[in-house]
Amino acid sequence: MIAASALAGMLWVAGLLPGLATVDRIGVNTTVGVSTGLSLAGSHGVTYARRSPAMLSFEVGLVHPHVPWLELAPGILLEVEGRVALGLQAQARMYLTSTRFRPYAVVGVPAFVVPFTLLGAKAGGGVLARLHDRFGIALEVGATVFFLGDDLMPRSALAKLDATLALRANF
């Protein structure tokens, strides 16, 4: 009940909803994904491109029963290829349908904190395929732009176009 009230309060404070009734239970799911793609950075008129390092993501999704189309999903990012790095990510998914195949849009704010710092914004979309009431597979494609941090070249930004394959369990 505390988690449901906290989620309703966060949505109200964020201005996403005018007010929600308190419920006894909210939807909780976990998602574990792996991603890679293309990284682009520019400096002094030159654009550098390389494959994005492999990344693992661990998320906990929270869904209020009166707003089933919206999921708040804080998570942990772990870069596992090359330099190992740890990051945090706050994101929201907006589901378009409630069928077996659920397309969605996603926006988020990723931030790497150890051993370097990066702060960015993420937008993308995907589809969640329900295999069972409790399990599913998601395929997501997104663009992330890191614009602040000590791991960027001077006067530059880092853009990433990544694809993620994830397994999901609902509780």
Residue 101 in domain: yes
Per-residue pLDDT at 3: 53
Per-residue pLDDT at 17: 57
Residue 16 in domain: no
Residue 90 in domain: yes
Rg (CA), the chain: 17
* pTM assigned to the model: 0.83
Which residues are 92's β-sheet partners? Answer: 72, 107
**pLDDT of the chain, 171 residues: tens digit per residue:** 455 555 555 655 555 555 566 677 889 999 999 999 999 998 778 889 999 999 999 999 999 888 999 999 999 999 999 889 999 999 999 999 888 899 999 999 999 999 999 999 999 999 999 998 899 999 999 999 999 999 888 888 999 999 999 999 998
Residue 11 in domain: no
Residue 123 in domain: yes
Split into its structural domains, the chain has a count of 1
Domain that holds residue 133: 26-170
Q: Are 63 and 73 in contact (CB under 8 A)?
A: no
Residue 17 in domain: no
Distances (CA, A) of 57 to 3, 45, 77, 160: 22, 33, 5, 15
Residue 128 in domain: yes
Residue 15 in domain: no
Query: What is the CATH classification number for the domain harbouring 31?
Result: 2.40.160.20
